[in-house]
Copies of this chain bind each other. A is one copy, B any other.
Amino acid sequence: MNCELISVGTEILTGAILNTNARWLSEELSGMGINVRRQTSVGDNPERLEESLRAALSSADLVILTGGLGPTQDDLTKETTAKVFNRALQLHPEIEKELRAWFSARGYEMTENNLSQAMFPEGCTILPNPNGTAPGMLIESMDRWGCDKAVFLLPGPPGEMKAMFDAQVRPLLASRSGQSVVSHYYQLTGIGESAAEDALMDLVDGQTNPTIATYAKPDQVLVRVTASADTDADAERMLTEYDKIIHERLSDFIFTESRETLLETVGKDLIAGGLNFSAAESCTGGLVCAELAQIPGISASLKAGLVTYSNEMKEKLLGVSHETLERFGAVSPETAREMCENVRRITGTDIGVSVTGIAGPDGATADKPVGLVYTGICSGNGTKIVKNQFFGSRTAVQQRTVNKILQMVREELKYSKR
């Protein structure tokens, strides 16, 4: 099945908002075996929307429109789609009742303009929107070549759109294709996208069914394998062999087979493992802690963090010895070791980690270039210090450092389990 996406909203064209809907839908549709062939964004302009919708329908079986559904955009998407499909707008009595109830409950008067929200193209399927006011819809047609076309109209706000897609569009598309499409996901860390691709090259080349795709996410790689068959069981069977091969070749790098991020996986594992955690950070300035703090419930594990930018604070707050700092410098394995061992002792936690390095763009010396970062971890199993040389901007170096720490914590948790 071929698909085109059309995003409607002048705020996309002025650059006021970033179009994350198109990316999200593209990834989800790819996982369902549906090719997205074009993404288009148009403003609140009926002529351009009509032109774009006609162009999309000329080659795609499926078009998903997002945005332009609410009364402030004059129901642009609904009216234009009805026009293209040559369908009249009809009053939907049940939605009218709901609308009148909504207005009377609030003591507002309902205007003609408001009533337009209860008008829908004849023969369409209405998709309720539990998180907003504008419902979505599905319009289907047989075109002049006898091909079935399906057009979905979804609201623009990502929260509303995603919930509606997952609950309503996904099952409709699955039943429509008549095929069972199953995707397995493998999330890798500690390996680059091209190395992961190389490892699977023989599977990627000449793939038809199952298909394999790799996605480079910030410091992790997502591998998706998608099989299409008559039944789910058949599709799963087709994936078994691939699953075995991928595990054989990449098991060291797989941190989850869900679609969680490395951060979510490590955060949840820390909580589930009942392990206390603390961090001593220099060049990341607290980012290790701040990222973990995004995980709900992390207060059960994350006890404390010490951000010690200066040598003085490394001595004062962390008790790093003056001699170590003088002799080896702040960016050294010796300092990284004292930082993680001391933060663990001071806070009395099971695991202490440390970061000291040069994030740049300034601060490099002849033997300590920008991107040189020592990362450390200390637990009941001992202390491990890693020397890293990262590349990229200041924020890229900081982000890669956090990822390295997450990898080290993950290894520690695996080791502790054994």
On A, residues with C-beta under 8 Å from B are 12-20, 22-30, 35-43, 45, 48, 51-52, 55, 213-216, 279, 281, 283-290, 292-294, 296-299, 302-310, 312-313, 316-317, 346-347, 359-363, 394-395, 398
Contacts and interface: CB of A to CB of B under 8 A. Distances in A.
B14 A30 contact: yes
Contacts of A297: 362
Q: How many copies does the complex hold?
A: 2
Contact of A307 (B51, B215, B289): B289
B39 A13 contact: yes
A30 B39 CA distance: 21
Nearest to A294: B395
A14 to B, nearest CB: 5
A307 B291 CA distance: 12
26 contacts: A12-B23, A12-B39, A14-B26, A14-B30, A14-B213, A15-B24, A15-B27, A16-B213, A16-B215, A18-B20, A18-B23, A19-B39, A37-B48, A40-B40, A51-B55, A284-B293, A285-B305, A286-B289, A290-B398, A296-B362, A298-B309, A302-B307, A304-B309, A306-B317, A307-B307, A316-B346
A292 B394 CA distance: 12
Contacts of A19: 19, 22-23, 39
Contacts of A23: 12, 15, 17-19
Contacts of A307: 279, 286, 289, 293, 302, 304-307
Nearest to A31: B15
Contacts of A303: 309-310, 312-313
A41 B22 contact: yes
Contacts of A288: 286
What are the nearest 10 A-B pairs in CB distance?
A: A285-B293, A15-B27, A286-B286, A305-B307, A15-B26, A286-B289, A287-B290, A39-B41, A286-B290, A304-B313
